[in-house]
Structure 1
């Protein structure tokens, strides 16, 4: 049974990150889930070295993922035409641990179409390769296949993803076995 969700995403970098975390957790509660937001934990005051702070944050976030029943991931583009790399790691870690992952993105379309629409400066003149001559993945999925295949994606916001997750949980509870 899914009761708790690790809230992955670049939301931790927003200027209002703690407020955003509180909003996401309240939204989770309205759908019957406990939200676990990375910034719920503060680096202890005695950990002052930046590298040690990074290690502490890493271990704390892994601990939250371990504690969670599933992951809800904001997979919107972040600082370019790809999702946040830390979020991608967290998704992969959760999948490797056998935890369900549910993602959300704000706009529909294939990955290549989304890049062309939102980051046209990244597309080469032929429209098929990027500006460096590298292929743009096109499998008809809204994100790279390593994210889109294991994680059901909702086009919309966190609330819409939570509504889908709630329906998923109800189906799982109703199914025998």
Structure 2
């Protein structure tokens, strides 16, 4: 049975354990075994940096065990996807794993900015700090969009359905 590493900021939600169970159950429904970061056993009665290292090592091990990564690439605490999730996608891709991502809105990245958050500089749309805003007709940064096997508009189960094709 192929294994799917379930990546995303869902681990920060108040009901993160239930979300993980739901996603793992969906994996089973589609013939996969789900590997959710919160399935790891970590001793939280130690120094914070040791806890962080243990979480990191455990998640890296899960990614190594996985055949496929499905990543929640929705904006998290801003306009970008969760940085930890992005790292996991890059690491998995470097290991030769298939990475699938999902995003709720079919909105180009540049269109996530309101007019009061941008200006034009020499005909190019930039943010208020005069930094260029990507405009490549992707919903997310080009490095992620071009490295995932498929960027699905929808949710976790939509990615699983894509794997059936």
1:128 offset after TM fit, Å? 1.6
- RMSD of equivalent CA atoms: 1.6
8 Å CA contact 1:110, 1:143 repeated in 2: yes
Question: Larger deviation: 120-129 or 103-112?
Answer: 120-129
SS at match of 1:129: strand
| 1:11-26 equivalence runs, <5 A | 11-26=10-25
| 1:98-109 equivalence runs, <5 A | 98-109=96-107
SS at match of 1:53: helix
TM-score (norm 2): 0.92
1:54 offset after TM fit, Å? 0.2
Divergent runs of 4+, >4 A: none
1:156 aligns with 2:150: no
Look up the match of 1:147.
144
Gaps of 5+ in 1: 168-177
8 Å CA contact 1:5, 1:35 repeated in 2: yes
Gaps of 5+ in 2: none
The number of aligned residues is 161
Distance 1:19 1:62 in 2: 22
Which protein has the bigger strand share?
Answer: 2
1:131 aligns with 2:125: no
Change (3 A) 1:78 1:122: farther
Distance 1:23 1:43 in 2: 21
TM-score (norm 1): 0.86
